[in-house]
């Protein structure tokens, strides 16, 4: 794709990666992604904001073929999907200075072997003049690594946010036109890479609230011409209370745990609790992560195998512990053949979750009448807990 004009002497550059289906060899990308770089030509100086994934560096260099001078390359974030083509850019513009945080400087030297002499580290709040345009650098750690910052083009009131506010979407639309579609993609993205750092992200949102932002230009997905749409969504995901929702990831071997799940889901619904049910044999882990953003309760359904939880359930619980959702309650349901330590094993896997563990329901073999009653009671207890907290 060719460079695209956003404003006078401000251009989108980069690549739309229509085919990518996995990020970090982990995160499903059902809609592909993009790596957005931006070029700003001030009256005196020219700056390139971020670059692209190294696999797409040829496209960026083609977009730069008629750009004779770049004075600065801003690296908001050291991860290679944005920084990976900086060495190529420096080959063409060897005198360009790489502007970044001191922490990112060290990471870029380690990850990309960029020489120390190429760097110009900046402090939080520093500005550079491009002549008639001014770029301010704002430290925003943990969106998504510890070294991250954003930059604000003061005259045009554009926030260049890199991963912050991003969404994995491949599209030829430069600007957000379908907010519903972007909401889903941005929430999935938040769940997978931002949720563990929620508290710090809340502080970053607070920090940005003093800026009058007319447009947000992230480095994945589309540009937000109505920034309050994504800022409000982030406020809700980060600061809002959990919802009256149970996330129910489960796996069943011979059908007993599945029968328990079916009964339990009906009981929850009868008690006015929303349910998001995921069969771990087939589920999209990104969708499950999204549902963790605002669910008040997680209930894991697992049979006992090799004296512990099914590995799919263990994987799911490991992921939930790493993502640190704002969940308040957790329980386990499932069937076993002769015994085991399923609940103990799972309980040791969740040190990061600040949850109250509700009485698990484990049954031997096929669920009995008493087991079904225990599931009904668990659903009722969850409903009561949600009501006490006014979760809606
Ligand atoms: Fe888009 Fe954390 O890289």
Average pLDDT rounded to a whole number, residues 356-374: 97
* d(CA 383, ligand 1 centre) in Å: 38
- Beta strand segments in 197-279, E: 215-218, 243-250, 274-279
Atom of ligand 1 nearest to the CA of 166: 1
**51 exposure class (CB count in 10 Å sphere: 0-12, 13-18, 19+):** buried
Ligand 1 mean position to 288 CA, how many Å? 20
Percent of the chain clearing pLDDT 90 (strictly above): 97
Task: State pLDDT tens for residues 22-55.
Answer: 888 888 899 999 999 999 999 999 999 999 999 9
Residue 170's domain is classified under what CATH number?
A: 3.60.15.10
Q: Which domain holds residue 288?
A: 247-383
Same domain, 279 and 342: yes
Q: Please state, as a whole number, how many other Cβ atoms lie within 10 Å of the Cβ of residue 202.
A: 15
Split at pLDDT 50, 70, 90, the class of 340 is: confident
* Listed residue (236, 257, 267) closest to 384, CA to CA: 267
Say what the pLDDT of residue 23 is: 83
**pLDDT at residue 374 is higher than 90:** yes
**Of the residues 216, 239, 262, which one is the last residue of a structural domain?**
239
Q: Are residues 290 and 344 in the same domain?
A: yes
Given a cut of 90, whether residue 78 has pLDDT beyond it is yes
Considering the domain architecture, whether residues 210 and 331 belong to the same structural domain is answered as no
Q: Check pLDDT > 90 for residue 384.
A: yes
- Has residue 339 got a pLDDT over 90? no
pLDDT at 287 exceeding the cut of 90: yes
**182 in the same domain as 309:** no
Give the separation between CA 214 and CA 225, rounded to whole angstroms.
7
Distance 86 CA to ligand 1 centre (A): 15
Cβ pair 315, 281 in contact under 8 A: no
Query: 77 CB less than 6 Å from ligand 1?
Result: yes
100-129 as b/e, with b when 16 or more CB fall inside 10 Å?
A: bbebbbbbbeeebebeeebbebbeeebebe
Residue closest to 281 by CA, chosen among 318, 312, 320? 312
* Ligand 1 atom 3: residue of nearest CA: 79
For the chain, the average pLDDT equals 97
Query: Which atom of ligand 1 is closest in space to residue 220's alpha carbon?
Result: 1
- The closest residue, in CA terms, to atom 1 on ligand 1 is 163
C-alpha angle 239/245/249, rounded to 5°? 110
Average pLDDT rounded to a whole number, residues 293-309: 96
Cβ–ligand 1 contact at 59 (below 6 Å): no
Instruction: State pLDDT tens for residues 154-178.
Output: 999 999 999 999 999 999 999 999 9
Q: Specify the pLDDT at position 313.
A: 97
- Percent pLDDT > 70 in the chain is 100
Rounded distance between C-alpha atoms, residue 268 and residue 40, angstroms: 54
The number of distinct structural domains making up the chain is 2
pTM of the model: 0.95
- pLDDT of residue 102 exceeding 90, the answer is yes
Going from the Cα of 266 to the center of ligand 1, the distance in angstroms, rounded, reads 40
Contact 373, 342 (CB under 8 A): no
Task: Identify the pLDDT of residue 98.
Answer: 98
Report the residue count for the chain: 392
Q: Does 327 lie in the same domain as 207?
A: no
Considering only CA atoms, which of 162, 152, 154 is closest in space to residue 37? 162
Predicted local distance difference test score (pLDDT) of residue 26: 81
Residue 390 lies in a domain: no
Cβ 82 under 6 angstroms from ligand 1: yes
Q: Are residues 108 and 161 in the same domain?
A: yes
Q: What is the pLDDT of residues 218-239, one digit of tens each?
A: 999 999 999 999 999 999 999 9
Q: Is 144 in the pocket of ligand 1 (CB under 6 A)?
A: yes
**Same domain for 252 and 379?**
yes
């Amino acid at each position: 794709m060719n460079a695209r004009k956003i404003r006078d002497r401000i251009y989108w550059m980069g690549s739309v990666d229509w085919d990518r289906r996995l990020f970090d060899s982990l995160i499903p990308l059902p809609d592909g992604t993009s790596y957005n770089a931006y070029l700003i030509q001030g009256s005196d100086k020219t700056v390139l904001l971020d670059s692209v994934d190294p696999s797409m560096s040829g496209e960026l260099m083609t977009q730069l073929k008629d750009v004779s001078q770049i004075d600065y390359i801003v690296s908001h974030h050291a991860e290679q999907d944005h920084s990976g083509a900086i060495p190529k850019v420096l080959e063409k513009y060897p005198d360009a200075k790489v502007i970044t945080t001191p922490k990112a400087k060290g990471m870029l030297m380690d990850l990309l072997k960029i020489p120390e002499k190429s760097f110009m580290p900046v402090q939080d709040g520093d500005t550079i003049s491009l002549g008639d345009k001014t770029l301010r650098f704002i430290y925003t750690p943990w969106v998504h690594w510890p070294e991250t910052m954003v930059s604000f083009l003061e005259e045009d009131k554009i926030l260049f946010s890199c991963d912050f506010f991003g969404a994995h979407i491949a599209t030829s639309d430069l600007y957000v036109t379908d907010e519903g579609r972007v909401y889903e993609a941005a929430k999935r993205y938040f769940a997978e890479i931002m949720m563990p750092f929620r508290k710090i992200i809340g502080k970053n949102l607070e920090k940005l609230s003093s800026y009058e932002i007319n447009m947000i230009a992230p480095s994945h997905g589309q540009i937000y011409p109505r920034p309050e749409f994504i800022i409000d969504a982030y406020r809700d995901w980060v600061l809002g209370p959990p919802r009256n929702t149970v996330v129910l990831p489960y796996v069943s071997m011979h059908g007993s745990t599945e029968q328990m799940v079916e009964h339990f889901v009906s009981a929850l619904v009868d008690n006015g609790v929303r349910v998001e049910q995921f069969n771990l044999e087939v589920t999209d882990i990104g969708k499950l992560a999204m549902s963790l953003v605002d669910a008040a309760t997680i209930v894991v359904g697992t049979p006992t195998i090799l004296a512990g939880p099914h590995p799919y359930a263990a994987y799911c619980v490991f992921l939930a512990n790493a993502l640190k959702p704002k969940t308040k309650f957790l329980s386990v349901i499932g069937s076993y053949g002769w015994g085991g330590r399923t609940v103990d094993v799972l309980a040791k896997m969740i040190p990061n979750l600040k949850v109250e563990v509700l009485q698990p329901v484990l049954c031997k073999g096929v669920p009995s009448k008493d087991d079904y009653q225990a599931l009904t009671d668990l659903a009722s207890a969850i409903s009561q807990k949600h009501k006490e907290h006014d979760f809606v």
